[in-house]
Copies of this chain bind each other. A is one copy, B any other.
Amino acid sequence: MKVESRTDLAVELQEEYSEFEGIRMEKREKKENGIRETTIFIDTKEASEKMGKAVGTYITLESPHFLEEDESYFTEMSQYLHEVLDRLIQKEEKVLVVGLGNKEVTPDALGPLVVEHLFITRHLKKESLLQINCEKEVSAIVPGVMAQTGMETQEIIRGVVEQTKPDVVIAIDALAARNSNRLNKTIQISNTGIAPGSGVGNYRQALTKETIGVPVIAIGVPTVISVPAIVNDSMQRIFQILEQVNGNNVLDTFTEEEQLELAKEIVDKDFASMFVTPKNIDEAVRRISFTISEAINQYVDLS
């Protein structure tokens, strides 16, 4: 079934395409704190097209305990994320952090909130005002979304990169998941930049090495589920139950074409631009934003 059930998570796509050539996967679990790391390598152009994801490395950190009240956990995920960043961006000294999304819409405010808590050093280094010993030069921007700016994020970032010459961009973004049990519990880090159409907001066109001139590390957290994803999920469930009751799966009586038509019909046009989000989304987004900003701050301090 090819119903559009959009996900920005490589780990969700991989569940469907695990056998495909050009896709490799590694899993490990940090026993003491329950963080599970899944690394997916998309190696070939064919695999990239099949998955609808750019060639590169996608690291997913998941933890069932991510949102629990225990203060210590937060620290451990920050520490782990810091190590992953260290692996992906070893030598670069000038980092521009881009907080994507719309600060006024709670589940899309992740990027702006991360930037709010960063330790910014570029201006201090430039004026030799920085008293601690810090090699990294960190700058940051919250470009806003197209409805607020009238500009594409790519235009703004390309301009800023040309003027300020960072070595690498770290772009933070809220993502759409397909599965409610990954919501607000998963961090995806990739070295491929941000692909077109991703995220909750309306910024388009890619932020990649090709489009802005420097490597782009993307950090994303699924904070919403799309309505088609939920409807598809429901439809699957309905027919599984029908099969149990009826003895046969009703979908078998349709060609694949007909199934597709069916799926398209049931996604109400009005719902196309809506998203689904949990009620405690404000606390979740704030907490995750601290986890990420702390990881970047550690990266700045320790290197």
* Residues of chain A at the chain B interface (Cβ within 8 Å): 69, 102, 104-106, 115-116, 119-124, 132, 137-144, 146-152, 155-156, 158-164, 180-181, 183, 200-202, 225, 227, 230-231, 233-235, 237-238, 241-242, 245-246, 250, 253-254, 258, 261-262, 265-268, 270-271, 273-283
Residues in chain B near residue A104, CB distance under 8 A: 106, 282
Residues in chain B near residue A142, CB distance under 8 A: 142, 144
Q: Which of A141, A202, A279: most chain B Cβ within 10 A?
A: A279
Give A71's nearest chain B residue, CB to CB: B297
Asked whether A271 and B180 contact (CB < 8 A) given A123-B150, A245-B254, the answer is yes
Q: How far is the CA of A66 from the CA of B100 in the complex (A)?
A: 29
Q: Which one of B121, B147, B161, B268 lies within 8 Å of A150 (CB-CB)?
A: B121
Residues in chain B near residue A235, CB distance under 8 A: 234, 238
Q: How far is the CB of A296 from chain B (nearest CB, A)?
A: 13
Q: Is the CB of B266 within 8 A of A238?
A: yes
Q: Is the CB of A141 within 8 A of B151?
A: yes
Residues in chain B near residue A156, CB distance under 8 A: 141, 159-160, 163
Q: Which of A148, A241, A254: most chain B Cβ within 10 A?
A: A148
Residues in chain B near residue A183, CB distance under 8 A: 270
Q: Is the CB of B123 within 8 A of A147?
A: yes
Q: How far is the CB of A46 from chain B (nearest CB, A)?
A: 32
Residues in chain B near residue A268, CB distance under 8 A: 180, 230, 233-234, 237
Q: Which one of B123, B150, B262, B266 lies within 8 Å of A120 (CB-CB)?
A: B150
Q: How far is the CA of A250 from the CA of B144 in the complex (A)?
A: 48
Q: How far is the CA of A280 from the CA of B275 in the complex (A)?
A: 11
- A-B residue pairs in contact (CB < 8 Å), sample of 28: A104-B282, A106-B106, A115-B148, A116-B148, A123-B152, A139-B149, A140-B148, A141-B151, A142-B142, A155-B164, A156-B160, A158-B163, A159-B160, A159-B161, A160-B160, A162-B162, A202-B279, A230-B230, A230-B231, A230-B268, A231-B231, A235-B238, A237-B265, A241-B261, A245-B262, A273-B278, A274-B277, A275-B279
Residues in chain B near residue A159, CB distance under 8 A: 156, 158-164
Q: How far is the CA of A37 from the CA of B37 in the complex (A)?
A: 47
Q: Which of A115, A140, A141, A200: most chain B Cβ within 10 A?
A: A141
Q: Is the CB of B279 within 8 A of A274?
A: yes
Q: Is the CB of B151 within 8 A of A164?
A: yes
